[in-house]
Amino acid sequence: MVSTIYRAVNAAVGLAMTVAFLLLAAPASAQTPSQTGRDGGQYIPTIWVDPDGCEHWVMDDGAEGFMTPHVSRNGIPVCRRGKVCGMMKTDQYFATDSYRIHKAGQARLMEFFEGTNAVSYIITGHTDSRASDQYNMRLSRNRANSVAAIAQKSGARVSEVRGYGERQPVASNTSAEGMAKNRRVEIICIR
Amino acid sequence: MGKSAYLLVAACAFGLTACADYEAGLGGGFSADKTLDRGVDAKHLSQLQAGIWVDPNGCDHWIIDDGVEGYLSQRLDRHGKPVCSGVALPTQTVGDFKGGSTVRDPN
């Protein structure tokens, strides 16, 4: 008797939960004709990786295809591998606070651009967190421009030059080692 | 959609079995899983083959013409900025972006 009541209650609770779940699961229940198909208006995408290594959401609903870049909530693309093909430690090319590249550094960069043969290059400068943000933005931009000038002299096409100052660290600025890693010019090769 | 209707009509006109291959899934469509390309050129969508289309501002987009489906998605660098490589003049395309599908379509 007790078990019969228990079973009945159990079944009733189960039914109530199922109904609740269905109500929750189908909030989109046919607001428009576009949600009336077998999919109930739900589009589950997969990932397509572009030749640069960055992800895109992709869907095929039968006769149409849809695609959009996969970016984080702050707008940064989700990429599987770094597209940076040249990473310059600025200590090896510039004196502190300077954006002039010494002779040996110029020759090395010339060699790099002549041997890489990309369609174009994006060059971005970065600093550690010492000095003001404004100063670092200017210094990193000037350094990126110095590298771009050599690229152009080698006949390469530069599609963009940017200075990010201290705003995109790759390591912690609390140690000398980390700061050295952050002082860099990145060269992205577009193929 | 216009394109797929064209394909359907053409396939039926030639009496091919592809008539039954109408990818929209006659009656109610497919489930919520949109990760596959169904029909004669069936594959997982990670296998798509892209080229570049340059927009009127000179910036790059990935373009894919996969039989009856078309895809276009912006080319972004690691910082999220548009890539404007200058690989071709505005409105031109580069690369075999129709090469990933065996479905013939007029465009």
Residues 6+ apart with CB under 8 A from B89: B54
What are the chain A neighbours of B36 within 8 Å (beta carbons)?
Answer: 60
Q: Does B48 touch chain A (CB under 8 A)?
A: yes
Residue A71 identity (one-letter amino acid): V
Q: Does residue B24 sit within a domain?
A: yes
Interface residue B104 vs chain A (CB under 8 A): no
Coil vs helix vs strand at A87 = strand
Note whether B40 contacts A: Cβ–Cβ < 8 A: no
For chain B, how many structural domains are there in total? 1
Expressed as residue numbers, the domain containing B34 is 2-94
Of A58, A56, A49, nearest to A80 by C-alpha is A49
Contact, A153 vs A59, CB < 8 A? no
B46 touches chain A (CB under 8 A): yes
Nearest to residue A64, comparing CAs of B74, B106, B23?
B23
Confidence class of residue B13 from pLDDT cuts 50, 70 and 90? very low
| Superfamily designation of domain A84-190 | OmpA-like domain (3.30.1330.60)
Does B4 sit within 8 Å of A52, measured CB to CB? no
Q: So what's the pLDDT on residue A14?
A: 53
Written as tens digits, the pLDDT of chain A (191 aa) is: 445 555 555 555 555 554 444 444 544 456 888 888 888 888 999 999 998 889 999 999 888 899 999 999 989 999 876 557 888 888 888 888 999 999 999 999 999 999 988 888 999 999 999 999 999 999 999 999 999 999 999 999 998 899 999 999 999 999 999 999 999 999 988 87
Q: Are A60 and B69 inside 8 Å of each other by CB?
A: yes
Residues of B in contact with A48 (CB under 8 A): 45-46, 48
B 13-32 near A (Cβ less than 8 A): 22-25, 28-32
Listing from the earlier edge strand, what are the strands of the sheet with A84-89? Answer: A84-89, A184-190, A120-126, A158-163
- Check B45 against A58: CB less than 8 A apart: yes
Q: Measured at the alpha carbon of residue A55, what is the angle toward residues A51 and A60, in degrees to the nearest 5?
A: 100
So where are chain A's domains? 42-81, 84-190
Q: Is residue B28 part of a domain?
A: yes
Distance CA A3, CA A126 (A): 71
Q: Rounded CA gap, A96 and A131, in Å?
A: 12
Gap from B61 CA to chain A (nearest CA, Å): 10
Compute the count of residue pairs across chains A and B with CB atoms less than 8 Å apart: 138
**Cβ pair B28, A37 in contact under 8 A:** yes
Q: Is B103 part of a structural domain of the chain? A: no
Q: Is there a contact between A106 and A152 (Cβ–Cβ < 8 Å)?
A: no
**Cα distance between residue B45 and residue A60, in whole Å:** 8
User: What mean pLDDT is predicted for residues B77-104?
Assistant: 89
Nearest residue on chain A to B23, judged by CA atoms? A62
Find chain B residues with C-beta within 8 A of A54's C-beta: 76, 78
ipTM of this complex prediction, to 2 decimal places: 0.72
Residue B8, in any domain of the structure: yes
pTM above 0.80, yes or no: no
Task: Sort out which chain A residues have CB atoms less than 8 A from B51's CB and list them.
Answer: none
